[in-house]
Amino acid sequence: MSERSEMKLKVKNQDIMSHLPEPSDVLVIIIGAGISGLLAAQSLRKLGVPFRIFERDADFSGGGGSRGLGWGLTLHWSLPALRALLPEEIVGRLPEAYVDRAATVERGLVSAFPFYDLSTGELKASTPAAPESERIRVNRDRLRRLLGTDIDIQVKGHAIRSPLLPPPPPPPPPHSSADNGQRLSGNPTLSLAPLDISVPK
């Protein structure tokens, strides 16, 4: 990452931080413990902001972790932001989620993606090589499990709809309600679950 990019990211992070309320004034409710929800949870944990995270599925292994969204992820331009959001101990463990840790970490190989003509086997093109500091390839399930480290994920059995804002005045914090009628208040509520699924409460 260039010095200019690092400076922009630092300025952006400082700008965001200056607009955050005091941690004691906030309880963030996160709906969905996928990669985005867990990344948000880790970032809040790093900042000392209280949160509760709710999830439909208890299974963090095998196919339950990827949810049919694909086997792996290539992190390139988002990698500096990902590292900035995570606590240092999780950043240090990112290699645990690599697709080929032996090649990347132990042998120091750089990643490049070849494109072949599958009818002939001929190499048609390849992406420019990039070192681990600029691009990594991770297994989606392993990344999700890593992001779940030290996070109290509350797995429930009723769908949560979010956010439902109460009528004014005076406005209490936004809340999420479950199919069984139970309500949770949080300010703010982050819904990081896909729109086409029911997130249990």
Q: In this predicted model, what pLDDT tens digit does every residue of 33-61 receive, in sequence order? A: 999 999 999 999 999 999 999 888 776 54
Q: How many CB atoms lie within 10 A of CB 20?
A: 11
Which pLDDT does position 68 carry in this prediction? 59
Report the topology of domain 25-60+148-201. FAD/NAD(P)-binding domain (3.50.50)
**Distance in angstroms (rounded) separating the CA atoms of residues 86 and 89:** 8
**Distance in angstroms (rounded) separating the CA atoms of residues 133 and 175:** 40
Which pLDDT does position 35 carry in this prediction? 93
**Distance in angstroms (rounded) separating the CA atoms of residues 128 and 74:** 14
End-to-end CA distance of the chain: 41
Tokens (6 digits) for 196:
């086409």
Report domain extents, the chain: 25-60+148-201
Cα Rg, the chain, nearest whole Å: 20
131: pLDDT strictly greater than 90: no
91: pLDDT strictly greater than 90: yes
